[in-house]
Amino acid sequence: MDLAISYLGLRLDSPLVVGASPLADDLDDVRRLEDAGASCIVLRSLFEEQITREKYGTVYSLEIGDPADTEIISCFPKVHEFVLGPDEYLEHIRRIKETVGIPVIGSLNGINVGRWLEYGNLIEAAGADALELNVFFLATDPHETPIAVEKRTTDLARALKRRLHIPLAVKLSPFYSSLIHLARELEASGVDGLVLFNRFYQPLAGARSGPAAAPVRLSDSSELPLRLRFSKILSGTLKGADLAVSGGVHTSVDVIRSVIAGASAVQVVSALLENGPQYLRVLREGMESLLARKGYRSLDELKASLCADPFPDPQAHSRASYMQLLQRWSA
């Protein structure tokens, strides 16, 4: 069964991408992921604050060592608390590229345009095949308008894209007032793909962050429908940027549903942390048998058959489904 797809201009053996996480921290694990069928690997993120603190002695525009800024700076992990420092990150990419043949995607995570974006170039020079930008930003300033919040993301993506020769994907959160508009702006800025979505690790209100906070809760398939809905809407709206679903992909049915919703690739993390790299084989075999049962010989054939099935007006469809659901409920 031919499951090959194209994502960010990379020809991948299947849509099964390993998402940004600790899964690729160890070279033996990276080998195991490739052997089990990973078509591409996204590395854990290198953070803006981590780079600026270690390399330039600042966090945002705050100087390390300035007593006035000590409290805010002390919220952030210390240099030694990061699993990979900026230099180690670059070395890790070089070593992974020597170890496996599948494409490797670096990940930067930040919220401000600045000198730290030079790490995009360094990640490229280290051999990454593409870069993912994660804009993990919670809008809390009552004076910052929705337009300014969106502009933060587009400015960052544009500044990074201008520096790069490799493709760039942006990993978004679902919490924008007009996600579709933002996606089109990002595409117009030259972004090659969008990853739907970031997961927010939601602490209880009032709970402190830091090591004492609740551990990361892994996902389950119930997180998928939000991604599928926006993938379907965006795939009908964007002109060429690729989509990857990240969040709630746990079964081969989840993968096929994501492809049907217009995603080129899925990024799997929780299912692999729970079940190990071998689980990629289960996902692949499940996809093959599902497609074969329906008479398809390739994923491309499935996609071609879906082109004849355009999504109805998403606005009307969304309100109509909502009303029907509420009316049909019975105890």
Ligand X SMILES: Cc1cc2nc3c(=O)[nH]c(=O)nc-3n(C[C@H](O)[C@H](O)[C@H](O)COP(=O)(O)O)c2cc1C
Q: Is 297 helix (H, G, I), strand (E, B) or coil?
A: coil
Question: Whole-number minimum distance, CB 172 to ligand X, in Å?
Answer: 11
Question: Whole-number minimum distance, CB 313 to ligand X, in Å?
Answer: 30
Round to whole Å and give the CA distance between 155 and 185: 10
Round to whole Å and give the CA distance between 275 and 270: 8
Which positions lie near ligand X, rule CB under 6 A?
19-22, 44-45, 107, 109, 134, 171, 199, 216, 218-219, 246-249, 268-271
Does residue 130 contact residue 105 with C-beta atoms inside 8 Å? Answer: yes
The conformation of residue 76, written as its DSSP 8-state character, comes to S
Question: Whole-number minimum distance, CB 161 to ligand X, in Å?
Answer: 18
Does residue 158 contact residue 133 with C-beta atoms inside 8 Å? Answer: no
Round to whole Å and give the CA distance between 82 and 330: 50
Find, among 133, 126, 197, the residue nearest to 167 by Cα: 133
Question: Whole-number minimum distance, CB 113 to ligand X, in Å?
Answer: 19
Instruction: Choose between 171 and 232: whose C-beta lies nearer to ligand X.
Output: 171
Question: Whole-number minimum distance, CB 136 to ligand X, in Å?
Answer: 7
Does residue 283 contact residue 268 with C-beta atoms inside 8 Å? Answer: yes
- Tell me how many helices (H) and strands (E) the chain has: 13, 12
Strands (E), 135-248: 168-172, 193-196, 242-246
- The half-sphere exposure of 14 on its side-chain side, counting CA atoms within 13 A, is 24
Give the count of beta carbons closer than 10 Å to the beta carbon of residue 224. 23
In which element (H, E) is residue 71 found?
helix 70-74
Q: Is 12 helix (H, G, I), strand (E, B) or coil?
A: strand
Instruction: Choose between 19 and 120: whose C-beta lies nearer to ligand X.
Output: 19
Instruction: Choose between 20 and 280: whose C-beta lies nearer to ligand X.
Output: 20
Find, among 87, 197, 111, 195, the residue nearest to 160 by Cα: 111
Instruction: Choose between 24 and 241: whose C-beta lies nearer to ligand X.
Output: 24
Question: Whole-number minimum distance, CB 299 to ligand X, in Å?
Answer: 20
Instruction: Choose between 58 and 246: whose C-beta lies nearer to ligand X.
Output: 246
Amino acid at 291: L
Round to whole Å and give the CA distance between 21 and 18: 8
Instruction: Choose between 4 and 216: whose C-beta lies nearer to ligand X.
Output: 216
Round to whole Å and give the CA distance between 269 and 189: 28
Instruction: Choose between 183 and 296: whose C-beta lies nearer to ligand X.
Output: 183
Instruction: Choose between 166 and 249: whose C-beta lies nearer to ligand X.
Output: 249
Round to whole Å and give the CA distance between 299 and 149: 37
Question: Whole-number minimum distance, CB 63 to ligand X, in Å?
Answer: 26
Question: Whole-number minimum distance, CB 38 to ligand X, in Å?
Answer: 13
Instruction: Choose between 27 and 226: whose C-beta lies nearer to ligand X.
Output: 226
Question: Whole-number minimum distance, CB 245 to ligand X, in Å?
Answer: 9
